Amino acid sequence: MSEGGPARRPARGAGRWLAWLGGALVVIAALWTLRGQWRTAAEVAGTLDVSWGLVFASSAIVLGAYAVLIVTWRACVADAGAPLALGDSARIWFVSNLARYIPGALWQMGALAVLAKQQGASASAATSAALVLTVVNTLCGLAVVLAFGNTLAAAPVTPWIPVVLGIAGLAALRWLAPPVVKWLAARTGRELRLPALSARMLVAATLGSVVSWIAYGIAFQLFVAATMPTITLGFAAAIAIYAASYLAGFLSLGPPAGIGVADGALVWLLIAGNVASPAEAVVISALTRLWRTALEIAPGLVLLGLQRSRGSRIP
């Protein structure tokens, strides 16, 4: 037993460093590609003519994708033995989503456990279902990139970027999961165990994940058309590029909400796929970050404000 303990520490540290290194390489590659392009990017930004109708349409699609994931998570929680009302599930999901903007990995899982317990549900079931959905969602995202990425000009290279980052992130998660589960158990005062993965839970997680990834891509295509109408971005390319950049940020594990890594990956993919010039890619990435952040935090802030105004104990 004494020999087994020390052997795990280097592996855990290696997993974390591998994930951080992958994210750093994406950012460095994007910055190197953009050297000398910042003034041109500012000029491009100054000529924007935004179609707000398309922006609202793309935003509605993203919110619809969130609804799919909420229903999927709720089904997984019910399958784990802790049914939740749909309204409670939405509140827990959106409010806990705010924790993604705290530096560090997996804070959202802790928030899910605390909020689920406040609603009288099993913190263990809620967190377990979220972990299962996160892993399945990541694998489905990688599959979507590989399925749709062959339409890109850099198809032989581009789809493998999220695959490499995915392996690094999931490898790190293998060693991160035990201390995270222990921390959640201490916070909730309950023993946390991953449920047996039923076929129904896996099917629900897979279907919900694939639908949401495709919806994100369609929304991104509309958003680019709304903000940069001179850019031609196909359906399949939009799905592959957005999913790949999102996964790059998510699997970096360190930066809050993948800030920097996802944005750098998006710039690189737009350029590598011959979709946009470096200057245009910078503008698209910056606008996408603002759009995505607003859609991620606005519902949670609104629901958090409503709960506090009614005297809820949500922290």
pLDDT, tens only, 263-277:
888 998 898 888 998
Structural domain includes residue 115: yes
State mean pLDDT over 34-49: 55
Structural domain includes residue 138: yes
Report pLDDT for 205: 86
Q: Among 37-41, 55-59, 289-293, which is the least confidently predicted range?
A: 37-41
Distance CA 80, CA 68 (A): 18
Q: Exposure pattern of 198-229 as b/e (b: 16+ CB <10 Å)? A: eeebeebbbebbbbbbbbbbbbbbbbbbbbbe
**pTM score > 0.85 for this model?**
no
Report pLDDT for 242: 95
Structural domain includes residue 41: yes
Report pLDDT for 162: 55
Report pLDDT for 156: 43
**Please, are residues 213 and 140 in contact by the beta-carbon 8 Å criterion?**
yes
Report pLDDT for 315: 46
Structural domain includes residue 1: no
Using 50, 70 and 90 to split pLDDT, how confident is the model at 49? confident
Structural domain includes residue 2: no
* Each residue's pLDDT tens digit, 71-126: 999 988 888 777 888 998 999 899 888 888 776 556 677 777 778 877 777 777 78
Q: How many domains are contained in the chain?
A: 1
Structural domain includes residue 3: no
- Residues 30, 31, 34, 40, CA torsion sign: positive
Range of the domain at 149: 16-309
Query: When comparing pLDDT for 305 and 167, which is higher?
Result: 305
Q: Which of 28-32, 129-133, 159-163 has the highest mean pLDDT?
A: 129-133
Residue 204's closest CA among 133, 141, 143, 126?
A: 133
Q: Among 7-21, 105-119, 219-233, 283-297, which is the least confidently predicted range?
A: 7-21
